[in-house]
């Protein structure tokens, strides 16, 4: 009877919510009812969309300048107050897209002099042609520090050989070498066409296929991974049974809040009502179930107590992203011990996951691997140091040095987009220790699969420990 009443009330709430949205008229967008399931908000810089699938509602914002999805989530209707707050977040995301609708293009050469004149010519042409492009020239040695705020990077022909390296640093930003004939003639028309074609050709990276590892566990597990970038928060999720993926998806928001995780769990419970195990792997600082993510303005939030009160019948784990990735690496490699260093984009707070004989080394008070407590690692303000390749290389090497001299694992692995070559790390370490002290070093370029699969493995390991 209770479930019948809940579903009945949700249907009423959805109808009220739909009518309320249609009444949210504004000068900032035109609102249109496409059909009984879809409402579209057409703004200056973005298109918002609300899609109704029964009691499940999908909200998204697509940026007009580059067709990127800047905001995406789906939730099951619970209360009108919560649903209206999510709609307001959609409106905020549309406003942000409108304020940043100019396509920012960086031109880079050795010194920035030759590209400086070209940038002036291109800006004049873009203004004349009413194109929403802004060009700026930077020397190559400053590209790492400023590149994350642009939409596309153009390299002068003389440094075109650096394109693979630059692309490995800026995974989601197109990096293109200007053809010699375009650059030599300052061919404005050719350069503008190159920018337009490159933005249209940019591919969306799909979630990688599941790792083919055999997992002997019969219950469904919801694995959640939180990824931070300079522009957004991505919440990736998968439902695993054994090693098979039953369902996967992602949520894209500007900032993370605890309600986002509640909505995701509630949404999964619709399709998997017997779901009882959830693992959440995240960057930031975890202290006895409390999470701090400074950029999201989450400070020492007691997540585990919150979940225990809302979902008393579920086992929900909050884990360090570095440890979840380390778990997957351990299963894939024939090593007894390893350390994994995770230095996510836009963050100077690194985390280390250490495994020995298949067990995570948590240590006293579970602080093992919380490297934010090591101020001597940084030569200057860490917020500045992470912006350069050399600064990140120094951070990675010193963290590895600490691991070598205290734990001495058989393999070291790391994720840091600003550090491209493993050999550079080895050479840096040789400044401190003899070469034969340095174990094998592995660099990860795509960590999504490692994190989600590893968090599932952590849930299973923690369940076995508790029994």
Which pLDDT band, with edges at 50, 70 and 90, does 233 fall under?
confident
Q: pLDDT per residue over 320-335, tens digit each?
A: 999 999 999 888 877 8
Q: pLDDT per residue over 253-291, tens digit each?
A: 888 889 999 999 999 998 899 999 999 999 888 888 899
CATH for 154: 3.40.50.2300
Question: What was the pLDDT predicted at 167?
Answer: 82
Which pLDDT band, with edges at 50, 70 and 90, does 1 fall under?
very low
In order of 14, 23, 32, 87, 183, the CA distances from 41 in angstroms are: 18, 12, 6, 11, 41
Query: Among residues of the chain, what percentage have pLDDT more than 90?
Result: 44
Structural domain boundaries, residue 93:
2-98
Number of domains in the chain: 3
What is the pTM assigned to this prediction?
A: 0.74
Question: What was the pLDDT predicted at 108?
Answer: 93
Decide if 40 is inside a domain: yes
- 179-204 b/e (C-beta count within 10 Å ≥ 16 → b): eeebbeeebbeebbebbeebbeeeee
Q: Is 324 found in the same domain as 273? A: yes
| Number of CB atoms found within 10 A of residue 160's CB | 16
Inform me whether the pLDDT recorded for 425 exceeds 90. Answer: yes
Q: Is 304 found in the same domain as 194? A: no
Decide if 213 is inside a domain: no
Q: Is 412 found in the same domain as 266? A: yes
Q: Is 327 found in the same domain as 443? A: yes
CATH for 376: 3.30.420.40
Residue 57 burial (C-beta neighbours within 10 Å; 0-12, 13-18, 19+): buried
Inform me whether the pLDDT recorded for 133 exceeds 60. Answer: yes
Q: Is 161 found in the same domain as 23? A: no
């Amino acid at each position: 009877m209770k479930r019948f009443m809940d579903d009945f009330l949700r249907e009423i709430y959805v109808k009220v919510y739909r009518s309320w949205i249609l009444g949210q008229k504004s000068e900032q967008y035109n609102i249109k009812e496409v059909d009984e399931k879809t409402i579209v908000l057409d703004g200056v810089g973005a298109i918002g969309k609300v899609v109704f699938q029964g009691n499940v509602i999908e909200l998204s914002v697509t940026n007009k300048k580059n067709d990127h999805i800047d905001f995406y989530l789906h939730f099951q209707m619970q209360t009108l107050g919560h649903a209206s707050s999510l709609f307001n977040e959609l409106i905020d995301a549309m406003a942000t897209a409108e304020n940043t609708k100019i396509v920012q293009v960086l031109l880079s050469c050795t010194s920035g002099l030759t590209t400086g004149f070209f940038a002036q010519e291109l800006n004049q042409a873009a203004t004349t042609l009413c194109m929403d492009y802004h060009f700026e020239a930077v020397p190559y040695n400053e590209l790492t520090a400023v590149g994350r705020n642009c939409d596309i990077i153009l390299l002068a022909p003389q440094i075109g050989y650096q394109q693979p390296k630059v692309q490995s640093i800026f995974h989601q930003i197109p990096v293109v070498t200007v053809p010699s004939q375009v650059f030599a003639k300052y061919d404005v028309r050719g350069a503008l066409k190159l920018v337009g074609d490159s933005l249209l050709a940019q591919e969306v990276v799909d979630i990688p296929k599941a790792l083919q590892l055999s997992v002997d566990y019969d219950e469904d597990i919801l694995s959640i991974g939180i990824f931070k970038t300079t522009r957004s928060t991505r919440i990736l999720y998968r439902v695993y049974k054994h090693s098979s993926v039953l369902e996967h998806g992602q949520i894209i928001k500007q900032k993370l809040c605890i309600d986002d995780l509640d909505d995701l769990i509630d949404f999964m419970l619709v399709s998997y009502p017997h779901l009882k195990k959830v693992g959440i792997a995240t960057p930031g600082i975890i202290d006895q179930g409390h999470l701090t993510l400074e950029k999201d303005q989450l400070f020492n939030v007691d997540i585990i107590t919150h979940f225990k009160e809302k979902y008393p019948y579920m086992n929900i784990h909050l884990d360090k992203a570095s440890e979840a990735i380390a778990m997957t690496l351990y299963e894939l490699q024939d090593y007894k011990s390893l350390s994994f260093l995770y230095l996510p984009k836009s963050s100077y707070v690194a985390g280390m996951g250490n495994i020995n004989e298949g067990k995570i080394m948590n240590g006293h008070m579970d602080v093992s691997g919380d490297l934010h407590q090591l101020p001597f690692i940084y030569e200057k303000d860490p917020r500045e140091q992470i912006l350069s390749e050399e600064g990140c290389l120094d951070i990675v090497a010193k963290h590895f040095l600490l691991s070598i001299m205290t734990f001495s694992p058989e393999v070291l692995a790391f994720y840091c987009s600003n550090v491209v070559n493993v050999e550079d790390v080895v050479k840096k370490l040789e400044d401190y220790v003899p070469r034969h002290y340095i174990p094998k070093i592995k660099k990860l370029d795509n960590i999504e699969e490692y994190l989600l699969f590893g968090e599932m493995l952590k849930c299973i390991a923690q369940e076995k420990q508790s029994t």
